[in-house]
Amino acid sequence: MVWLARDRTLFHALGVFVATFMYSLSTLAWVDRAGSGRVPLLSCVFVGMMVVTSVLLLSVLVQRLNSFQITQVLRIIGDTGRDVIAQSYQGTRATTSPSEERPSLPVTLTVNHVGRPVYRSHRSISGD
């Protein structure tokens, strides 16, 4: 939720939506107060531009829904967690040696991984 709360696009879009709604209501309240049967052109053009801007921002928000898919959320949580772990243990030294913590067993396999974690779906593993 913190990630969502820090999203500037969301806050700007909500601001434009509210501004469009409030300006449209206030313009509607002031239009034709004298009973002339006319609507000011400038107000109509400005409201039209605000509505177009709101629709464009809505399309940007719909495109950003991709970031709420579970794989994207898990990737972001994993990246953030690794960053926090790296910052927490940066500059600290172990007080005990690794041989004291683990029983001495023969090493049968060593796997070295460099880079970010990668996942594969069950389809790519089974060859489907």
Whole-model pTM? 0.49
Q: Where are the domains of the chain?
A: 1-29+39-83
- In our burial notation (b when 16+ CB lie closer than 10 A, e otherwise), range 94-112 reads eeeeeeeeeeeeeeeeeee
Q: pLDDT tens digits, residue range 98-120?
A: 555 666 778 788 888 777 777 66
pLDDT at res. 119: 66
Task: Kindly tell me if the per-residue pLDDT of 38 is higher than 50.
Answer: yes
pLDDT at res. 97: 55
Instruction: State what percent of residues in the chain have pLDDT above 90.
Output: 14
pLDDT at res. 56: 93
When pLDDT is averaged across residues 81-96 and rounded to a whole number, the result is 75
pLDDT at res. 95: 56
Give the amino acid at 64: R
Burial-class residue 22 by CB neighbours within 10 Å (0-12, 13-18, 19+): exposed
